[in-house]
A and B are shown apart, each in its own frame.
Chain A
Amino acid sequence: MKVGYYPGCSLHKVAKEYNKSTYKIAEKLGVDMKEIKDWNCCGALEVEAVNPLAAKGIVARNLALAEEQDFDLLTAVCPACAYQLIHVNRIMEEDKEQADILNSLMDKHDYTPGSVKPVHFLQLLRDNIGLNKIKEHILPDNPLAGRKGVSYYGCLCVRPGDIVQFEDPDNPTFMDELINLVGAETPHFPMKTKCCGATQLLVAKPTVETLTGNIVVNAKEVGAEFIVVACQMCALALDGQQKQAIDRVGGGDFKIPVLYFSQLLGIGMGLSYKSLGLGSNYVSPKKLMKPVKT
Chain B
Amino acid sequence: MIFMAIQTFNLNTADLNFKNEVVAEEGGEHLKKCFQCSSCTLTCPITDVGLDLNPRKVIRQVLVGMRKEVLESKAIWQCVGCFECTDRCPQNVRFTEVIEALRTIAVRDTKSKDKSRRISLSKEGKLKHSFDKRFKESVWLWGRSWEPEMIGRYMMYGRGFPFGALIGFKYISMILGMLRKFKIEFFPPWNSKARKEVRGIFKNAKKYEKEAKA
B204: chain A residues at CB < 8 Å are 57, 104-107
A123: chain B residues at CB < 8 Å are none
Q: Provided the pairs A202-B131, A202-B151 are in contact, do residues A58 and B136 lie with their beta carbons within 8 angstroms?
A: no
Instruction: Report Cα–Cα, A282/B78, bound state, in Å.
Output: 28
Q: How large is the interface on A (under 10, 10 to 19, 20 to 34, 35 or more residues)?
A: 35 or more
A159 to B83, Cβ gap below 8 A? yes
Does A280 lie at the interface of the complex (its beta carbon under 8 Å from any beta carbon of B)?
A: yes
Tell which of B14-22, B114-122, B138-146 binds the partner.
B138-146
Identify which of A43, A44, A47, A199 contacts B80 (C-beta below 8 A): A199
Instruction: Considering the complex, give the chain B residue whose CB is closest to the CB of A56.
Output: B205
B45 to A195, Cβ gap below 8 A? yes
Instruction: Report Cα–Cα, A106/B143, bound state, in Å.
Output: 14
Interface residues of A in 9-68 (CB under 8 A from B): 9-10, 12-16, 38-41, 43-54, 57-58, 61
Interface centre among B132, B133, B178 (most CB of A within 10 A): B132
B151 to A104, Cβ gap below 8 A? no
A156 to B197, Cβ gap below 8 A? no
B183 to A203, Cβ gap below 8 A? no
Instruction: Report Cα–Cα, A280/B189, bound state, in Å.
Output: 21
B46 to A207, Cβ gap below 8 A? yes
A282 to B194, Cβ gap below 8 A? no
A43 to B86, Cβ gap below 8 A? no
Q: Provided the pairs A13-B184, A108-B197, A160-B86 are in contact, do residues A53 and B208 lie with their beta carbons within 8 angstroms?
A: yes
A240 to B132, Cβ gap below 8 A? no
A57 to B143, Cβ gap below 8 A? no
B26: chain A residues at CB < 8 Å are 52
Does A241 lie at the interface of the complex (its beta carbon under 8 Å from any beta carbon of B)?
A: yes
Identify which of A16, A41, A49, A211 contacts B145 (C-beta below 8 A): A41
Does B9 lie at the interface of the complex (its beta carbon under 8 Å from any beta carbon of A)?
A: no
Residues of B within 8 A of A (CB): 26, 45-46, 49, 51, 78, 80-84, 86-87, 94, 96, 100, 103-104, 124, 127-129, 131-133, 135-136, 139, 143-147, 151, 154, 170-171, 173-174, 177-178, 181-185, 189, 191, 193-195, 197-198, 200-202, 204-206, 208-209
Name 21 A/B residue pairs within 8 A (Cβ), A-sorted.
Answer: A14-B185, A40-B198, A48-B100, A51-B136, A57-B201, A57-B204, A57-B205, A58-B201, A105-B204, A105-B208, A107-B200, A154-B82, A159-B84, A160-B86, A195-B80, A200-B128, A207-B46, A207-B51, A211-B45, A240-B177, A241-B174
Residues of A within 8 A of B (CB): 9-10, 12-16, 38-41, 43-54, 57-58, 61, 101, 104-109, 154-156, 159-161, 169-170, 193-195, 197, 199-205, 207, 210-211, 214, 240-241, 244, 280, 282
